[in-house]
Structure 1
Amino acid sequence: MQNVGIISQARMTSTRLPGKVLLPVAGQPLLHYHVARLQASGLPLYLATTTNATDDPLAAFAETYQLPCTRGDEHDVLSRYWLCAVQHKLDVLVRVTSDCPLLDGEVLAEGVQEYLQANDPRLYLSNVLERTFPRGFDFEVFSRELLEEAFERATLPSDREHVTPYIHQNRSGRVRFRHITRPTDRSSYRLTVDTAEDFELMRQLIETYGAATLSAEDLIALLDQHPELVALNAHIEQKKL
């Protein structure tokens, strides 16, 4: 049996919307919804934050929610993932980011099951390289073997900050790929929180439409039916690597 764990990276010093993951919606911090939806996957969840004092509130959140918390370098997020994998003896890692409050844990669990059935430590599986899901449902699945290789060999600052470029750009030449897609492309929808406009959409979805209890497909159908919601943050550009 392989030891699988979800690692979510988080910090309070976001440049465009500081403290975003603990902003309250319907009486709960956004991180509450992120955690609850990921726990629906049935997989262990770990929080990876920094050693900065500014992230003490995230460590306190993790303690309250009984989440194991790994703290490390703010900019070398890759090292935080490696440290967490070593500390908890993980064989397979699922990378997510904490600014995705509505990430669907059941879709993620299906992806993990497909990864495990492949039984291939050189496999990288994700729904991000061939993007058909809205941004905000992102997850990546890969082995500790691939993580170790990236940790030891990746040297570019962007490699260290964004964790997986060394893997998904196949710098070793020995990575195999599998993509999780849906029949229709809704990659233009934005359900991640990086700006005030993103937050306003998330607030309306959760407080007015009960989005925290909806599946990925139900959320996509809701956005299909409400173009005025999509328009709230349609102009926001995702930050580039």
Structure 2
Amino acid sequence: MTDRPTTRSGTAGTGADCRIVGIVQARMGSARLPGKVLRPLAGRSVLGRVVRAARDSGVLADLVVATSTDPVDDAVAAECARLDVACHRGPVDDVLTRFVGALDAHPGDAVMRFTADCPLLDPEIVALVATVYWAVPGLDYASTSIARTLPRGLDVEIVRADALRTLDRLATGHHRVHVTSYAYARPELFRVLGVTLTPDRSDLRLTLDTEQDWALLRAVTDHFGDVSVPLAKLADWLDGQPGLRALNAGVRQKRLEES
């Protein structure tokens, strides 16, 4: 049997005493939709909506946006200053190094990872995942995407800080782009928990990666305005909008190996 890597530091930072740092990865250089994180939705940038939802969850001790050192991402840093949220800059493609750098600058017991292309993030789901993590001692990683029942774009994941540093030592290739993927790819090494919510709404696509996604998100925010919409309310509304749901139903999600 393979030995587990050492990822724990006694009983410090357990339960509700655990200090969770939210890290939002954001950059301008998307292959399919460049500049998507700063597009405006109902008067607020996509990044701004993610930052607001993370803050509104009420479970984060700190929040930082992790962007790259590429000059094109000066615009992301400027938006962070406007939003009054901390910004850490690191490598363009080695996102895991970027996260560890952000954690070094903003220490915590665990990291909640967000991506800046999820403007419909639900603060209630963020809070729920934090509560589950606090309630289960000894977890290295918890995520809603292991057995997906949520729409793509509303997933939440949390990783123990020491486990993130272990990932930094072990992960190579595409695992350094996807930050936490090595943890759930190697469950024999890490204590991993999947969080599922019912009913299953995994058929909905509410992330932003293509123009088709943009059309759907624009329609949602045109209807609801500049507010965070609970998933149940949003899904009920979309149930009556088959034309909108069809807008991006055919979009293929890139595989992990495709950066």
Q: TM class by shorter-chain length?
A: over 0.9
Residue 155 of structure 2: aligned partner: 138
Tell me whether 1:163 sits opposite 2:204 in the alignment.
Answer: no
CA shift for structure 1 position 211: 7.2
Residue deviations 1:50-96 (CA, integer Å, cap 9, x gap): 00100001001111111111100010000011111111111101111
What amino acid is aligned across from residue 185 of structure 1 in structure 2? D
SS of 1:145 mapped into structure 2: helix
Contact 1:85 1:91 in 2 (8 A): no
Equivalent residue in structure 2 for 1:26, among 42, 52, 58: 42
Contact 1:23 1:30 in 2 (8 A): yes
Residue 220 of structure 1: aligned partner: 235
Q: How does 1:1-241 map to 2 (within 5 A)?
A: 1-42=17-58, 43=60, 44-120=62-138, 122-155=139-172, 157-170=173-186, 173-210=188-225, 212-241=227-256
TM-score under structure 2 length normalisation: 0.88
Poorly superposed stretches of 4+, deviation over 4 Å:
none
The unaligned stretches of length 5 or more in structure 1 are: none
Contact 1:102 1:211 in 2 (8 A): no
RMSD, aligned CA: 1.4
Identity over aligned residues, as a percent? 39
The unaligned stretches of length 5 or more in structure 2 are: 1-16
SS of 1:240 mapped into structure 2: coil
TM-score under structure 1 length normalisation: 0.94
Q: Distance in 2 between matches of 1:16 and 1:205?
A: 21
Contact 1:211 1:219 in 2 (8 A): no
Q: Distance in 1 between matches of 2:194 and 2:226?
A: 26
Count of aligned pairs between the two proteins: 238
Q: Distance in 1 between matches of 2:72 and 2:228?
A: 31
Q: Distance in 1 between matches of 2:77 and 2:228?
A: 26
Residue deviations 1:170-218 (CA, integer Å, cap 9, x gap): 26x2322222212222111100000011011111100123373320111
CA shift for structure 1 position 237: 0.8
CA shift for structure 1 position 123: 3.0
Higher deviation after alignment, 44-53 or 176-185: 176-185
Q: Distance in 1 between matches of 2:146 and 2:18?
A: 25
Q: Distance in 2 between matches of 1:57 and 1:141?
A: 27
What amino acid is aligned across from residue 57 of structure 1 in structure 2? A
Contact 2:153 2:207 in 1 (8 A): yes
